[in-house]
Structure 1
Amino acid sequence: MFAALARLANTYPRRVLAITVLFFAVAGALGGPVASLLNSDNDSFSDTGAESAKALERIEKASGEMASPDLIAVMPAKDTAALDETLSILKSEKNVAQVAGGPDSGPAFVSKDGSKTYVVAIYKSHGDPDSTTEHLRDELGEVDGVTIGGFGPAYQQVNEQVESDLVKAELIAFPLLFLVSLWVFRSAVAALLPLLVGGITIVGSLLVVRGINEFVDISIFALNLITGLGLGLAIDYSLFLVSRYREELVRTGPGPEAIRRTIATAGRTVVFSAVTVAGAGLALLVFPLRFLYSMGIGVSIVALMAAAVSVIVLPALFAVLQHRVNAGSPKRWQRAQAAEIAAEKHGFWYQLSKFVMRFPIAIALTGTAILLALGSPFLGVKFTGVDATVLPKDASAHVVDTTLRTEFVGAESLPIIVALPAAESDTAEVTAYASQLGELDSAAAVSEPRYRGGDTWQIDVSSKFPTMDEKSLDLVTEIRELKAPEPVLVGGAAAEQVDQVHAIKAGVPLAMLILVIVTFITLFLMTGSVVLPIKALIMNVLTITATFGILVLIFQEGRFQGPLDYVSQGALESTQPVFLFAVVFGLSTDYAVFLLTRIKEARDAGAGERESVALGLQRTGRIVTAAALLFAVALGSFATSEIIFIKQLGIGTAAAVLIDATIVRAMLVPSLMALLGKRNWWAPKPLRKLHDRIGLSEGEPDELEPVKV
């Protein structure tokens, strides 16, 4: 395959580039509008097969109405004009089934100080809630004094904020990425190539996502990942290919041979690294939550797309540019680049690895202690979900949520919903059960039981605490365990969060098994060793542990709220550790593949055990560091997001790749390689024979000649 790619690039480079331009145009036209086609419903974080979903389904089927208010409008209690206009707008909407509220509806609808009131709208269950909410937001937005919130507006505002943050992140990331690439490559043309590949990768991935979305609902939140991860991986892969091609230019000069060697070495590694990252994406498909499986699809698509663009388009560009890949570089930069390639045994990373390998035990213990210390806060982790509080404090849905909880008695924008199977005649029994619910310690108020038809009663329970507070989640469990006249179904946002965590816990073992198998197989095929994959797995776990600890330290404990512009929820959003575990696992393995293949390359060329480690680290040191820095910029730009769980995603991935590229690569890898020596490459005889037949290597001995300058 790799020989064929080299022939394609050397024989038809201009045709490849022409087809790429056409592909980019078509992908941009078809994939560009994908944001408006992806799923933006409010169940992206819910297990649609769980009890919480079944509770809502039962009520909606029995009544023809949604189980809880979809929209809530808060206004001054004495502003009768605003109240009348709000009621008129809501009642005239054909998809609204019920409207209630205002001072005349009872004390529950008036704030403690009497200054505010609110109105709720319950939609018909067979309508289009998203378009209904959008229309009502437009209409009510024209009414002075009215603040709009509730379930529907909150999720729409989250989606809108995500799209806005995506544009902002791109505007921040691209200029920074170019500047860092310029510093790395010391050439304007070479610095532009990773950004070019990144752009093609993103547009191509959006096209594929649009096609998949025709068959599987993909969450709109996957857009952030596709952009950030696609850009980051494309830049990583481009860095390795461009840097290797520049090495080969020094070795052999411009021409087909330099391209052939580049694809046979770095190109091969890029492909198998992409397979590893895509495998990490597959691990997320085991979860029933749309957010997670959408992210898994996104990870797999962008990894494979980034690799495809890198090994097809970049070599064609090399064939056209040849030595001009170094254009836009002052002679001083060119001399520095050539000297760096030539001076393998005098470089920083070579000398650092030699130092580390002099004291392998002490440094291995120090590196491990640092990672464990960083990870220790994760022992006290708490989890929360997605509600209006993930929005900026001034977002209307967040304002309404806070107002209802703090200024009204027993009001809740997202109550716990109990669906009780009972006949309409069983009023006394149902009422007695509702009284029991009101006696629970965390229950602030219990609504009057409502018969919804179809032998189904609905009882709403408001918690004394915020929706995602740990005590509200415990209240869900208490309600489920409370003896009822008939088995009840408990739904609502708090119940969905409880079921979500249960679904995540149930899926984690299989997801981890997939990650371990993919990582082990990939590294075994690349190295022929069973020891190196096991070490890589252990170091991946240490990296992830440290990353989780940093997230708890920042977001759960509320540090750096000013500089990072967020308000702590006192917990981590529960899907983020799962997502980060898979992605960071894949990325850590990605860097391990690049480093280990260069170490093996040097070893196969005759270098000693410790010397091959030093050479491998030197050959990858500056580039892997730059790749990690660029990746941290690409995804770290999401730290500017106004949505807290997107902020967690950006900072988590940025921290992980930087930890992996520094502490793991500079301290743990060389020290452990030195300690084990030849045992690093051990494998049982049957597996050794298997590797001899089907194993992979990055390069051939004749490609590893010393550089001549």
Structure 2
Amino acid sequence: MIVRWRVLVLAVWALIIAFGGVSFLIVEEELGLPDYVIYNSESAQTEQLMHSEFPQFGNEQDAIVITSPRGGVDTDAVLRERTERIAEAVGRDATVTNVIGPYTDLTTDQISSDNTSTLTLVALNGDAQERSKVADRLQGIVDTYLGGTDYRGYLTGQSPLNNALTEVEKKDQETAEIIGLPIAFLVLLLTLRSLVASLIPLLAAVSGIVLSSTVILALTTVMNLDTFALVVATVLGLGVGIDYALFVVSRFQEELARGRPVPDAVTTSMRTSGRTVLTAGFIVIIALGSLLIMRGHLFVELPVVSTIVVLSSMIASVTLLPALLATLGHRVNALRPRLPEPIARRLAARRAQETAPVSFDDALHTGIWARVSSAVMRRPILATVPALLALLLCAAPLLGIRLGLDLGLSSLNDTKPGIGQHTISQQFGAGAVSPVQIAACAKSGTLDDQAIAAVGQFTDSVDQDRRVVSTTSIVRLLDETPGGRTQANLRELSDQPGFSQFTGALVGESGSCAYISAQPASPVDSQETLQLVDDLRAMNPPLLDLNIGGMSAQYRDMAGETAAKLGIVVAVVVVLSFIYLVIAFRSIVLPLKATLLNVLATAASIGVTVAVFQFGWGENIFDFESAGSLQAFLPVALFAILFGLSMDYEVLIVSRIREQYLKTGNLKTAVPQAMQSSGKQVTAAAAIMAAVFGSLVLADVLELKQLGFGLALAVLLDATIVRMVLVPGAMMFFGDGNWWIPKWLEKRLPAERAHG
């Protein structure tokens, strides 16, 4: 039908590209900041409690650090005047709930020990997108009041840092595209041997991304989406979009070479490779959908955005591509690069081999895929056992995996928030901006003498922990007055003008909770601070209910959620993919083999990623400093994405094997023939994927490095060890049993469409 209505289809796609191009240009402006909250976790519940009991702290605590090259900031009248004016101007912003400057009577730790820096604390309200915008405004206020002086001021904290990280991630994406796309085009040119044919997959992939941009732009009106999710989805969309189009265009060229008329060639290509694209695409979507099992916002937006991009790529492959191919016809092979005559003759002979029937005995003398598969099938045990052992060895580092969350601060050294964070870390301590937040609530419902004493004992014990630099608590104010740690003294202080601002902030609205902050000695995303969160949560002081929150607690909860749900995600992906493949292949053995091999290959790639990034084996090669852990969300995200992508090649190769097997009934002939005809596509597709994903290794942001490395390695392992060795070896081992399926089940499957 698309062949008949190709002009209309192309016209519709022209409108989509025109409208979607505008969406693509403006969608980044509508993106918010990363949201690492795990729903119903202790950190999320603490955040809600803080919002209701301690509104002065807002939803986020940032800081303005101001430095003087001359020092003496405690007595610098000019600096004091400008700092106070900055605090006043910042406090007038509707999103700011509280500002505590360094020159108030009760603040003693907001001037650095070397007397060169001051710290002004700023509490922000609003959602993530509002805080993102206000962060830029507040930095502008600082720049205005310090302009024309030699003072330097920087706003830093969660939103300012995430804003800066977003800009770095955008540059990393641009770098990946600048490197990956030319390599992809070169691979396409070598594979399809035509300039026109090579441009079609790029056009299809870009069209799919443009289409997805329109949907994503609409989605931003009801859902917070961040740049990281869009970067991952865009790179994924480029990879699968080019690969899917490559499968179809390559098959179209093959059908034309057999002498089929253009309409028949398009129809056959879509019935075979087009069906493969749909099968592979839906498996990728199933795998991505499994992330929704996780309870965090990141695990919702990443599969949603990625699914939109993959689905858009599939739509482009089965609508735009056939319309283009039907319109171009034999011109798809136009503008072939001129090669020296000997090379041209060799390529012509190879093309003839790719479409000629191959016997099992002749396979050793044909293309490399047919030769390798035939050799493996002659000695399947000897070939497959070492391959399996190699994958198991690669997967071994998974036994020592540690999950954390690196904020990517090392990539922000040239940004104002990054400079501010570094300055605060040096002058006031690594955890000064993002302390561990503790809401200690009296079980009795009121902060009576016994509850206040319990708060004091808990605060003292936390203060004695070597991992804590300092604590802030209401008991510190009570200790400075004659009344001591009593309810009566607390009431008296609350009525005094000099103390009421602080007692109001440190005692909850209900009068039953006390706020305690613990400034860690290590960075907020370090393993030491995450362990501190665990140890605080394990404490059980009498008379008190503890609620532990803050950024470090969020990261710990994300790591815990990933560890708890990874097995469930794996099980869901494997089971759903198995069911889908049973329907697609009409076999029990083939889907079982495919899922097991994919799990092993995926585990191998994640294992090597652990060794390179967590163990630090690749620090010098890839220019990073190991955080001693893998990003908390990475294993589950990698598994979902990799499992789906690995199935692309499985579906392509096994579909061709089944197609040949249905024609000949001879497995020994079907496997080499299918490997010979599809091997070129798999090699090219893997090279394209590796180029697109691998270019992220050059990113400045560590999580993008880890993701790009894991994806690129998995594709290479899958296209070599798994597809060239394990697939033909397993096919030979099971023989005709590959196609076994119980009669009762076969009768209940949807009717099969004809191949050919």
Q: Is the 8 A contact 2:467 2:529 kept in 1?
A: yes
Shift of 1:495: 1.0
| Aligned residue identity for 2:72 | K
1:65 Cα offset (Å): 2.5
Given the alignment, which residue of 646, 657, 664 partners 2:704? 646
Question: What's 1:118 paired with?
Answer: 119
User: For the Cα contact (< 8 Å) 1:444–1:464, is it kept in 2?
Assistant: yes
Q: How far apart are residue 272 of structure 1 and its match? A: 1.4
Q: Structure 1 pair 350/410, CA: closer, same or farther in 2 (3 Å)? A: closer
Gap change, CA 1:337 and 1:22, over 3 Å in 2: farther
Work out whether 1:521 is the aligned partner of 2:518: no
Alignment partners' CA distance in 2, 1:171 and 1:306:
20
Tell me if the contact between 2:430 and 2:523 (Cα under 8 Å) persists in the aligned partners: no
1:391 to 411, 433, 453: 411
Aligned to 2:297: 290
Trace 1:66-105 onto structure 2 (pairs within 5 A): 66=57, 69-76=61-68, 77-78=71-72, 80=76, 81-82=78-79, 84-93=81-90, 94=92, 95-102=95-102
C-alpha contact 1:418 1:491 (8 A) present in aligned 2: yes
Aligned with 2:516: secondary structure?
strand
Classify the secondary structure of the residue corresponding to 1:70: strand
Alignment equivalent of 2:510, drawn from 442, 454, 460 = 454
Distance 1:441 1:611 in 2: 70
Query: Which region of structure 1 is more displaced relative to structure 2, 273-282 or 90-99?
Result: 90-99
Structure 2 CA distance for aligned equivalents of residues 170 and 141 of structure 1: 34
Task: State the Cα distance separating 1:282 from its structure 2 match.
Answer: 1.0
Structure 2: how far apart are the matches of 1:630 and 1:411?
Answer: 43
**How far apart, CA to CA, are the structure 2 residues paired with 1:83 and 1:650?**
48
Distance in 1, matches of 2:602 and 2:135, equals 40
CA distance in 2, matches of 1:648, 1:583: 14
| Displacement of 1:28 | 1.9
Give 1:634 shift. 1.8
SS in 1 for 2:507: strand
Aligned partner of 1:486 in structure 2 is 544
Q: Is the 1:401–1:412 Cα contact (8 Å) retained in structure 2?
A: no
**Offset at 1:695?**
5.1
CA 153–669 in structure 1, closer or farther in 2 if over 3 Å, else same: same
1:90 alignment partner AA? A
Find the counterpart in structure 1 of residue 183 from structure 2: 176
Specify whether residues 597 and 494 from structure 1 end up closer, same or farther in structure 2 by C-alpha distance, changes over 3 A only. Answer: same
Q: What does residue 501 of structure 1 align with? A: 559
Relative distance call for 1:695 and 1:502 in structure 2 (3 A) is farther
Which position in structure 1 is the counterpart of 2:374?
354
The CA distance in 2 between the partners of 1:331 and 1:522, in whole Å, is: 44
Does the aligned pair in 2 maintain the 1:281–1:298 contact within 8 Å?
Answer: no
CA contact (8 A) 1:108 1:409 kept: no
- Aligned residue type for 2:351: A
- Tell me what 2:481 maps to: none
Alignment partner, residue 396 of structure 2: 376
Could you tell me which residue of structure 2 aligns to residue 167 of structure 1?
174
Name the amino acid aligned to 2:122.
Answer: A
**Corresponding residue SS for 1:221:** helix
Matched residue of 2:393: which SS?
helix
2:200 aligned with 1:193: yes
Matches of 1:343 and 1:685, distance apart in 2: 34
User: What amino acid is the match of 1:357?
Assistant: M
Shift of 1:270: 0.9
Moved more, 395-404 or 193-202: 395-404
1:39 equivalenced with 2:32 (yes/no)? yes
Conservation of the 8 A alpha-carbon contact between 2:616 and 2:626: yes
- The answer to whether the Cα contact below 8 Å between 2:586 and 2:741 also exists between their aligned partners in 1 is yes
Give a deviation string over 1:17-58, Cα, whole Å, max 9, x none: 111111111122235312222332x5x222142211221222
**Displacement after TM superposition at 1:151 (Å):** 1.9
Deviation at 1:222, TM superposition (A): 1.7
Tell me, yes or no, if the aligned pair for 2:472 and 2:518 is still in contact at 8 Å: yes
Matched, 1:232 2:239: yes
TM, length-normalised to structure 1: 0.92
Which of 462, 469, 472 is 1:444 aligned to?
A: 469
Aligned to 2:491: none
Alignment of 1:267-666 (within 5 A): 267-330=274-337, 333=344, 335=348, 338-343=351-356, 345=358, 346-387=366-407, 389=409, 391-408=411-428, 412-422=432-442, 423=446, 426=449, 427-449=452-474, 450-455=506-511, 456-484=513-541, 485-666=543-724
The gaps in structure 1 that reach 5 residues or longer are 1-6, 704-709
Are 1:684 and 2:730 counterparts?
A: no
Contact 1:74 1:118 in 2 (8 A): yes
| Counterpart Cα distance in 2 of 1:483 and 1:577 | 33
Worse overlay, 123-132 or 653-662: 123-132
Structure 2 residue matching 1:605: 3-state secondary structure:
helix
- 1:109: how far off? 2.6
**Deviation for aligned residue 1:337:** 6.2
What is the CA-CA distance between 1:635 and the residue it aligns to?
Answer: 2.2
Q: Can you list the C-alpha shifts for 1:547-584, whole angstroms capped at 9, x where unaligned? A: 11221122112233344232221211110111110000
SS across alignment from 1:71: strand
CA distance in 1, matches of 2:99, 2:372: 70
**How far apart, in 2, do the equivalents of 1:287 and 1:83 lie?**
48
Which amino acid in 2 is paired with 1:447? Answer: T
Aligned to 2:46: 55
Q: Deviations over 1:583-628 (max 9, x none)?
A: 0010111211111111111111114222212122111111111001
Larger displacement relative to structure 2 (365-374 or 297-306): 297-306
Q: Deviations over 1:81-119 (max 9, x none)?
A: 455434422321223333335477655234444443322
- Alignment partner, residue 486 of structure 2: none
Q: Is 2:265 the counterpart of 1:265?
A: no
Cross-structure match for 1:255: 262
Instruction: For 1:306 and 1:590, locate their aligned partners in 2 and report how far apart those are by CA, in whole Å.
Output: 14
Contact residue 57 and residue 98 of structure 2 kept, 8 A: no
The two structures have a TM-score, normalised by structure 2, of 0.86
CA distance in 1, matches of 2:103, 2:293: 49
C-alpha distance after superposition, 1:165-196 (max 9, x if no partner): 22232222222221221111111001100100
What amino acid is the match of 1:527? F
Partner secondary structure for residue 72 of structure 1: strand
Aligned sequence identity (%): 30
Q: Which moved more, 1:200-209 or 1:136-145?
A: 136-145
Distance 1:90 1:619, change over 3 A: farther
Greater Rg, structure 1 or structure 2?
2
When the two chains are superposed, the root-mean-square deviation of aligned CA atoms in Å is: 2.4
Deviation at 1:540, TM superposition (A): 1.0
Q: Which 4+ stretches in 1 moved above 6 angstroms? A: none
Give 2:65's aligned amino acid: A
